[in-house]
Amino acid sequence: MSPSKHHVSTPAHIALEDCHVAGYDILKGIILMVNTWSIKRKLHHWESPGELIPERFEGKDIDVIGQHFVLLPFGMGQRKCPGYSIGIHIIGATLVNLLHGFNWRLAYGLNP
């Protein structure tokens, strides 16, 4: 099982206003805990929930910064992976170093 799916911290949330969710009345000020452990193991949400299958997200219109709840077990929005920002910077720096460090040419017979 993927470590990111297995060990997700879920901090408590405080309801900012009265609302109605899935048949429950949530009052303003109530402290809520989202059970992501249960969400990520439901068969009607996930095919083979105990297996690492990264391909399940290929070809889907999912924004890791947005509010796509399919990513909830991995952390999303303000609670996304703390390494996400540094990872984006490292990818950019690596690409720049590759472009700078090598003499790039088109393959023989290809024109720009």
Rounded (10°) CA dihedral 84, 89, 91, 92: 150
Instruction: Say whether 19 counts as a known binding-site residue.
Output: no
Rounded CA separation 27/15 (Å): 7
Rounded CA separation 2/52 (Å): 5
**Which amino acids are annotated as binding site for heme, given as ranges?**
81
Per the annotation, binding residues are 81
